Structure 1
Amino acid sequence: MHHISPEMKQCIDNCLACHSECLSMAMGHCLEMGGQHTEPKHFKLMMACAEICRTSAHFMLIGTEHHKHTCRECAEICRQCADDCERVGDMQACVDACRKCAESCERMAQ
C-alpha cells in the first residue's frame, strides 16, 4: 500500500467532508428553499463541486500522481462554489467546507 502523508490524509478528509456538505446542502436545503438556491447555474456548480471533491479524494486514496490535476481543478471549483454559496446566502457550512477543501487541494496540487 502506498504511504499517505498526514497532509494528504487531511486533504482527503476535507474533500470527503466537502462532497458530503455540498450534496446534502443541495439536496436538502437548496431544493427546499427554491428560488436562487435552485437556479441551474448555482445548482450545477454545487453538483460539480461535490463530484470533483469525491473524485479528488478517490485519486489520492488510489495513489495516482494524477491527483495533482484533480486537486488543482477541485480547488478552483470549490472556490467558485464557496463564492456562489456566499452570494446566494444562508449556506455558511457549505462556504466553509469549500474554502477548507480548496486550501488543502491547492497544497496537494503543487
Structure 2
Amino acid sequence: MNRVLVVDDEQYIGLLIRHILQSHGYEVVVTTCVADALEKLQSEHFNLVFTDLNMPGENGFSLLETIQQQPQHTSVVVITAQGEEEITGQALALGARDLLHKPFSRQSLLKMARKFLAA
C-alpha cells in the first residue's frame, strides 16, 4: 500500500488531504511540524510527502534536504500559496518533484498523488 506523509502547520489542510487520499485507498499520516515528520521518516517508509514550506520552527526546506539525503526514494510535493514563485523555485532546486497550489481542488490533489504513486 502506498504511504503518504502530510506536513502542514495548518491542521485542517492535513486533515483534508488525509480524508481525500484515504477515500481513494492511500494510507496517510499527518503531522503539523517538521521535527515530528523527521522522526516519522526515520522509523517509517513513505512513498510520497506533501509538505508546506512556511512553518514555525524548522521549515519545509530542512525537511526537503533531509529527505534528499536518504537512500530510499521518497517523492516530495510542496504545498504552496499562490505568489511564492521564488520560494518554490528554491524547493524545486532542493529536490521537490512538484507543487500543489493552495487552494487546491480534490481533483488536483488526486492527480498529484497518482502522478507519483502506483495505483
Higher Cα radius of gyration:
1
Quick check: which one's helix share is greater? Answer: 1
Quick check: which one's strand share is greater? Answer: 2
